Structure 1
Amino acid sequence: MNLQTKTYPLVSVVVPAYNTETRIAYSLESIIAQDYPNIEIIVVNDASTDGTENAARRILENCGRPFTIITHKKNRGETASRNTGMDAMKGEFLWFIDADDMAEPNLISSLYALIEKYQCKISFCGIKDRFTDGRPDVLIPVKIKNTDICNGEDAIWLRAFGEDAPPVCGILFRKTFLQETGLRFYEGCTGGGDIEFLLKTLCRAGRSAFTPDCLYTYVHHAEMGSVRDSNTKEKQIRRYRDNTGAHFRAAQYLSEYAPSERVKDLADSFFMPQAFIRQLTLCAKTNNRAEFDAILSDGATRKALSASKKYFFKKPEVYLKAFALLHFPDIYYNRRRG
């Protein structure tokens, strides 16, 4: 694509950041290096207690790209930071990148070319896992049979059964799509918020364009948010609880807005049973037998757990857990109690 032959619409790049002083430079430099000519950079500093804001400002002040740094007065979490960035964006398109990750220089230009070619609401790419402990990179390309176009149903299917599906940070969004659907992140969610937003996006986007190329680099390091938010038992329980809530909200949303009977069935017979399994497991982890018994005795719970049988050959562990809960609840509870 010759980027010099026409005027390209503005792409807003939103970077949620919390205590990433030592890593944000890599992320911002990979944004500045994008070969797409018309971007704005929005860093949302989520009340960091280190020098994140100053580190970001030092890099951006002379980068030649328009930028904004927004600082929350108190820490509100990554989901809130992404919503803040969405509210501040001026572009016609939106891309999220985490403050400790990186991207190939052609990520935006490649996804923009696809979204324009097919007039889609979103386009997405594969990812690369990078490990700071010296392990080799792992490539996770998008594996969909079509060449570069798919429907939301196919992508949701990939996500459901553990195959390769796009992360939120590997997607380019049309702003009008987000406005028309009202899609936002569930604020305060410390776990599962990305997956919830992703499933809702795929459900509503219809036809989507993609490249199998691994253009987004997800960096695994000792200070990453998922590690930080799980370094005590209390935080682990909070994250598990939030993740369970995200499972329920995503399943309910998919059931309500399902673009096909296949997706609705996935919502009711796969995603919803998973949510109930997590809820019952949480009861065991927190030693709440009374709530465990009350939830398990409810007819809607038992119906959902039983329905997971139809996907046994796609993901047997879900139905096996459901079967254990239905027929051997004491054993299940005692093995998972905190």
Structure 2
Amino acid sequence: MSGKVPASASGQPLPVRDVEVVAPNFKKRLSGVTSTIVQLVPKQAESLAITTVGPGLPDTLPKLRWWQVPGLLLKPRNRPFRVWHARRNPEMLAGVVLRDVFRAPLKLVFTSASQRHHTRWTRFLIKRMDRVVATSRKTASYLEVPNQVVMHGIDTTRFSPPPGPAEGAAAVGMPEGQRYVGCFGRVRHQKGTDLFVDAMIALLPERPGWSAIIAGQATQPHAAFEAGLKEKVRAAGLADRVHFVGTREDIPAWYRALSLFIAPQRWEGFGLTPLEAMATAVPVVATDVGAFSELLENSGAGTLVAVDDLGAMVAAAARYMDDDALRGRAADAALLHARSHFPLEGEAKTLNGIYEDLWRKASK
């Protein structure tokens, strides 16, 4: 570590000259990328002078105010340049403009989670990065430039099992005497929330000891979609057993209420929810999208099913719901796998190592 690490207390403006790495966040609404920044930056800040800039982030994070941005045109106190770590196109563009137009002393790093062929504009921006990170092997296969795979990690102190088997549901006020299967994330077609609802309509009538929890926001364009799902649940006579609980700030506590997690997505960039469940010792049934296959690989933590295959999803979930011993073994395997292979500290250390490599090469 080269110098003073910016303090994050109370979100006060930070001395620009001390800042070594900037993690921009130009999207106000909560997303997977924003969640990654919120979890990762404090861990990186333990050994590096890193700050955020942009809206939609909690004040507990180290951050620059917009009026401080011109200070990035000056060389940092303890480094030959700063690192600008972008995760979206607008953030890449801002870095390019700062470096190439305003001659700011910056090196640009981009993390890609996309699993599709990039547009010409995105490829143009990526080729102007100094380093490129892919969040999975699948993502790396879509990149046309050299890259390094760094999979997301999970904060295993924040996401952890409940002290006892009966304490999870009680802590979030859910009726006791039930086991819960959950589906967490934004409520929309892309996320497969309708598949989860259809699976519950098929599974719950014959399993009176189980109920379901759907946690997540339906934004205005998807409000009718959510309303339709609630009506379908009501028509099936399950309104008292399929709980739509909306957005929850204390989401780790809601994972602790679960005995099974289903990730029914039709498309995903990376997808942290299976990993959050695994770190909470909850088995997972997930579709083969995003990084889900790589998260579950050789883990014994759950089952992968094909996208949009409701029958396979129902069958896989039924196996875990009906077999306590199988579910227990998968829960143990999930916890061990998340803690062994995906600690947040590992992701932070690897990314900080990429920055250090850039600085080291500049000093030769």
TM > 0.5 between the two? no
Larger radius of gyration: 2
TM-score (norm 1): 0.31
Give 1 or 2: higher helix fraction.
1
TM-score (norm 2): 0.29
